Structure 1
Amino acid sequence: MADTRIESLDVIRGVAVMGIFSVNVIAFAMIEAAYFNPGAYGGHTGADLALWAVNMILIDGKMRSLFSMLFGASMLLVIERAEASGQSGASVHVRRMLVLLLFGLAHFYFIWFGDILAGYAMVGLIAFLFRRRSPRALAVLGSLFILVSMVQFAGLAWHMAELDKAAHAVGATGAQIRDWNEFGEMFFPGADTIAKDAAVHASFLGRLSYMLVERGAEPFVNFLAFAPETLGLMLIGMAGYKSGFLTGQWALERYRRIAFWGLLIGGIASALVVVVDVQSRFYAPALFAAFFAAAAPFRVLMALGYAALIIILSRGMGPLAQRVAATGRCAFSNYLGTSIIAAGIFYGWGLGLYGDLSRWQAWAVAVPLVWVVMLAWSKPWLEHFSYGPLEWLWRSLSRGELQPMRRPRLSAAAA
């Protein structure tokens, strides 16, 4: 009973990990600034602009929100099962988060700057403190933390606009111009910055040295910047688990209403973000204000809408839902595995396509391939093994001993 799967959680997690790669691929394929700003690199007209807009409206931020909510829900599930078996929930949770932190830091330094695992581990240690709250309290607290994040990023956007104003005022000082230019490089990098970035990704050791020396503290800085929103999403996920929403226990009509209104309202808000970005010509303060501040609650609505829709569509667990669920059960392996595949395609120690493809070309080269790989390997693997390979390693390291890997064979009588 302790190992019984909650299929709805697995399916939602599978969709989320697949969706996340649809937007992450750009951050593997070209300079970091291109992730939010198509004008920075990779093309911002025609098919390139269309791909960015579709990802921004349908996927960007929504799948990460889903993944964060599922992390909070799964965290509670693991703690409950540990305590049901007579173990200390706190001890099991802390060990899991510390091991996850090591995985995340290795992912960041050795493979990709966009790691979310280290932040999840650190925020997860905080989220543990709220585990006994009621679903209503968790939802309220989660919403408040997201509000804190909105205010934080709105303040940053205002600060950026003030820097721009000061740098372009009559009599602007060299320091004021330099301060604005530093922000400008984040969104509109010059030729020297682009060339340096390409050189960094040309070799494994060169990139590793750069990440350790110049960006060594970044995982912890990112934790401070994104902890409020991530914690808010985890708490909402915990509320979704405790209330039965994420486990498929609500009435079908409620799921239909949430799916319809969440996706409609969230989709309209996301489309407005696209309009603001394009009309402002991807002006940095506008990007920050629209995506990180104004759109934050609508991302949550859309994520909940997606969760409801996925639960509706996966009822009955047909062949496709089973494969997506297996992808979700191996989400840890799939998340890190996709990073390795993408790095092998784009970085210099692999195929070396970094910076050579436009936005839509990079997506077309990597995303369908990775999705097919996820769906193809996960289900057959789980027919023979109890966990994904990295799930098994995480579990073994957390428990301090190798865990049984192969699924037990059914006896002839049991079969």
Structure 2
Amino acid sequence: MDPNLSSPQAEAFIPVREEERIQALDVIRGFALVGIFLMNIEWFNRSSAEMQIGLPTGLSGVNWWASRLVYVFVQGKFWTMFSLLFGMGFAVMLTRAERAGRNFLRPYLRRILALAAFGALHYIVLWSGDILFSYAVGALALVILLYGKWKWVLVALVGLVGLGFVPHMKPLWGLAGSLAYVGVVALYLRGEKRMGLFGRSLPVFSFVVLVIGTLAALIAALLWALPHGPKEPRIPMTVVSVLILTLGFLSARFHQPLEPRARRLAVALYLLPFVVMTTFGVVQLLMPDPGAAYRAQAQAQVQAQPPAQAPTTAPADKKATKTEAEKLMAEEVERAKRIQTYRQEIQTETRVLSKGTYREVLAFRAKQFAEHAPNEAGFATVLIGMFLLGTWFVRSGVMTNPREHLPLFRKLAWIALPIGVGLGLASTAIATYHIPGDPKDGFQVATGLLMMGNLPACLGYVSVIVLMVHSDTAFSKIKILAPVGRMALTNYLMQSLITSFIFFGYGLGHWGMGRARQALYVFVVYAVQVAFSHWWLGKFCYGPMEWLWRAITYWKLPAMRLDRPEGDGSLRAAELPAP
């Protein structure tokens, strides 16, 4: 195991404490399942393409309240929680392999491949909102981050860049970018070499980042100094240089000591893209919008003409030359075309899912998956932050000995949860809906704030559940959710199986159900799953999908029938991390 994830507490894997920890993790998984269901249910009733434009408009009454409550308290909080749990499962499997003296990487790679296959089939056969495939890609990125050899990372990087020049292989450049990102992060996590700069010794990662930031700052200063130079890049380049220099300074400041490095890096990996998103959203709001005068006219021309035709004239503009006006008009025409294409995609997906046959839906989702899969490498750069944080929770001893860390969980519950929910409320106050083509609607800022708040909210929820599990009051009854968590993969797929039949056109066709009724539906189905999970695990050691996943991971068929005491069966079944 990489030393950056080790600590003196990592060896304290006492069986009694381990059983207690596993019970807490299963309860958290069970709780997370209802949250992820509340978030997913909307996208069995709306086109997935509409995820880019936020909450639906025109809602009122209980539907309005239901949509806002889910937005503030649920949206984004539970895929982060599952990601955290996935990282914890990774650490549990790693620690047990270390204790048993057995190989870890070989079975874990089989585990990742199996999860990728489950995710691809789930996406195509049941529902395009799958996250299992994303987790598989993220898990591979985590393995590269912790164990990747520099030589092979560079070879793979060069190979991907080269293959990207082959016709129709350009998506490999995005994959190369994500691999390079993971490699740079690994340099920070595992690198101990230092370089001198202005008389100070800095980690190599920080040295490189500060050099890049300094160059960006010089370019920004030059743009401001040139009286007739381009004006539009001035503010963005200034912001970029400040962000890069800040990252370089913080990475140098907090590289040591070794023990908290993984935790700090994990938080930074998650927050960094959303801090950048929010910052540039603010910049976008503050900067003038030169295309505003042309937007309505461009949209009208695109709607009136075939997409292949483009306007050849542009209105005069007192503050712009004719060439600048034509350029602005052309940009707005292209944007209007993209918006029109986007709206057509929404209409097509809505028609296929709400009225199409299963064969049509299957072909549609297969095409979607082929286009969607190459982009997962980008999402993996966010997931590895949560995976790494979950790994730290186990390796540091926080989740292996939760009773000894209850003060930490209390702090997270009282501090992190209000911060996370507060950022969600701030997001709703700015914008909950994006007007396609309008860069001034504030939606990017609102989304960035919401995503930043997901991390503290997730940690707060986890802490509340841990405190309830270890409570001597009626709150400890939440342990009833443990069997649901032990069958998390089965229950997650079952939710999609049932719900796709209920809502899609090839089933019962209840497409378009109101948000309040969607929430009621979720709680009814989830209650059935709680009862089913208790019944199933009263007879079997594992859920059916957990059994299959374990068989592929260890390449042997485990016993399925429950021929041992229930407590022992619970301990064995809980070895598998949930999706």
Query: TM-score with structure 1 length normalisation?
Result: 0.86
Q: Which stretch shows the higher mean deviation, 121-130 or 29-38? A: 29-38
1:308 offset after TM fit, Å? Answer: 0.9
Who is 1:322 aligned against? 479
Distance in structure 2 (CA, Å) of the matches to 1:200 and 1:159? 38
**1:301 aligns to what SS in structure 2?**
helix
Who is 1:230 aligned against? 383
Distance in structure 1 (CA, Å) of the matches to 2:369 and 2:331? 23
Who is 1:273 aligned against? 427
Kept in 2: contact 1:26–1:363 (CA 8 A): no
- What letter is aligned with 1:309? V
Say which of 15, 20, 35 aligns to 2:31: 15
**1:219 aligns to what SS in structure 2?**
helix
Who is 1:243 aligned against? 396
**2:261 aligns to what SS in structure 1?**
helix
1:195 offset after TM fit, Å? Answer: 5.5
Q: 1:219 to 1:306 in 2, by over 3 A?
A: same
> In the TM superposition, what are the counterparts of 1:167-186 in structure 2 within 5 Å?
168-170=292-294, 171=314, 172-173=328-329, 176-180=332-336, 182-183=338-339
Who is 2:44 aligned against? 28
Who is 2:105 aligned against? 90
Counterpart check, 1:62 vs 2:217: no
1:37 offset after TM fit, Å? Answer: 4.6
Distance in structure 2 (CA, Å) of the matches to 1:120 and 1:27? 19
Kept in 2: contact 1:13–1:331 (CA 8 A): yes
1:9 offset after TM fit, Å? Answer: 1.0
Distance in structure 2 (CA, Å) of the matches to 1:320 and 1:350? 37
Distance in structure 1 (CA, Å) of the matches to 2:338 and 2:514? 25
- What letter is aligned with 1:101? A
Q: 1:131 to 1:322 in 2, by over 3 A?
A: farther
**2:130 aligns to what SS in structure 1?**
coil
Kept in 1: contact 2:410–2:467 (CA 8 A): yes
**2:508 aligns to what SS in structure 1?**
coil
Counterpart check, 1:402 vs 2:557: yes
- What letter is aligned with 2:547? W
Q: 1:39 to 1:119 in 2, by over 3 A?
A: closer
Distance in structure 2 (CA, Å) of the matches to 1:185 and 1:373? 41
Who is 1:334 aligned against? 491
- What letter is aligned with 2:274? M
Q: Which stretch shows the higher mean deviation, 346-355 or 68-77? A: 346-355
Say which of 512, 518, 536 aligns to 1:362: 518
1:97 offset after TM fit, Å? Answer: 0.5
Distance in structure 2 (CA, Å) of the matches to 1:159 and 1:211? 37
- What letter is aligned with 2:482? A
Kept in 2: contact 1:333–1:391 (CA 8 A): yes
Query: TM-score with structure 2 length normalisation?
Result: 0.63
Say which of 270, 287, 291 aligns to 1:146: 270
Who is 1:257 aligned against? 411
1:286 offset after TM fit, Å? Answer: 3.0
Q: 1:208 to 1:371 in 2, by over 3 A?
A: same
Kept in 2: contact 1:345–1:352 (CA 8 A): yes
Deviations 1:241-261 (A, max 9, x none): 222333424443332221011
Q: 1:220 to 1:353 in 2, by over 3 A?
A: same
Kept in 1: contact 2:547–2:558 (CA 8 A): yes
Q: Structure 1 vs Structure 2: percent identity of aligned residues?
A: 26
**1:267 aligns to what SS in structure 2?**
helix
Deviations 1:1-50 (A, max 9, x none): 69956111111111111111011100012222555656646x42222221
Who is 1:351 aligned against? 508
Q: Which stretch shows the higher mean deviation, 383-392 or 280-289? A: 280-289
- What letter is aligned with 2:63? D
1:339 offset after TM fit, Å? Answer: 0.9
**1:350 aligns to what SS in structure 2?**
coil
Counterpart check, 1:373 vs 2:528: yes
Q: 1:118 to 1:313 in 2, by over 3 A?
A: same
Distance in structure 1 (CA, Å) of the matches to 2:411 and 2:260? 19
CA RMSD of aligned residues (A): 3.3
Q: 1:166 to 1:305 in 2, by over 3 A?
A: same
- What letter is aligned with 2:444? F
- What letter is aligned with 1:331? A
Who is 2:182 aligned against? none
Counterpart check, 1:209 vs 2:363: yes
Q: Which stretch shows the higher mean deviation, 294-303 or 125-134? A: 125-134
Distance in structure 1 (CA, Å) of the matches to 2:24 and 2:339? 42
Structure 1 segments unaligned to the other structure (5+ residues): none
Counterpart check, 1:218 vs 2:372: yes
Counterpart check, 1:106 vs 2:131: no
Q: 1:337 to 1:313 in 2, by over 3 A?
A: same
- What letter is aligned with 2:518? A
Kept in 2: contact 1:18–1:371 (CA 8 A): yes
Say which of 430, 438, 443 aligns to 1:287: 443
Q: 1:230 to 1:374 in 2, by over 3 A?
A: same
1:87 offset after TM fit, Å? Answer: 2.3
Structure 2 segments unaligned to the other structure (5+ residues): 1-14, 148-188, 190-257, 295-313, 315-327, 567-579
Q: 1:390 to 1:127 in 2, by over 3 A?
A: same
Deviations 1:34-78 (A, max 9, x none): 55656646x422222211111111111111111100100111111
Whichever of the two has the greater Rg, that structure is: 2
1:225 offset after TM fit, Å? Answer: 3.2
Q: 1:176 to 1:160 in 2, by over 3 A?
A: farther
Counterpart check, 1:194 vs 2:347: yes
Deviations 1:298-335 (A, max 9, x none): 21111111111111111259784232111111111111
Distance in structure 2 (CA, Å) of the matches to 1:21 and 1:384? 26
Distance in structure 2 (CA, Å) of the matches to 1:302 and 1:331? 21
Distance in structure 1 (CA, Å) of the matches to 2:341 and 2:410? 44
1:96 offset after TM fit, Å? Answer: 0.4
**2:127 aligns to what SS in structure 1?**
coil
Distance in structure 1 (CA, Å) of the matches to 2:284 and 2:339? 7
Who is 1:72 aligned against? 87
Kept in 2: contact 1:104–1:116 (CA 8 A): yes
1:152 offset after TM fit, Å? Answer: 5.9
1:183 offset after TM fit, Å? Answer: 4.8
> In the TM superposition, what are the counterparts of 1:114-125 in structure 2 within 5 Å?
114-125=129-140
Distance in structure 2 (CA, Å) of the matches to 1:103 and 1:266? 32
1:98 offset after TM fit, Å? Answer: 0.8
Kept in 1: contact 2:540–2:560 (CA 8 A): yes
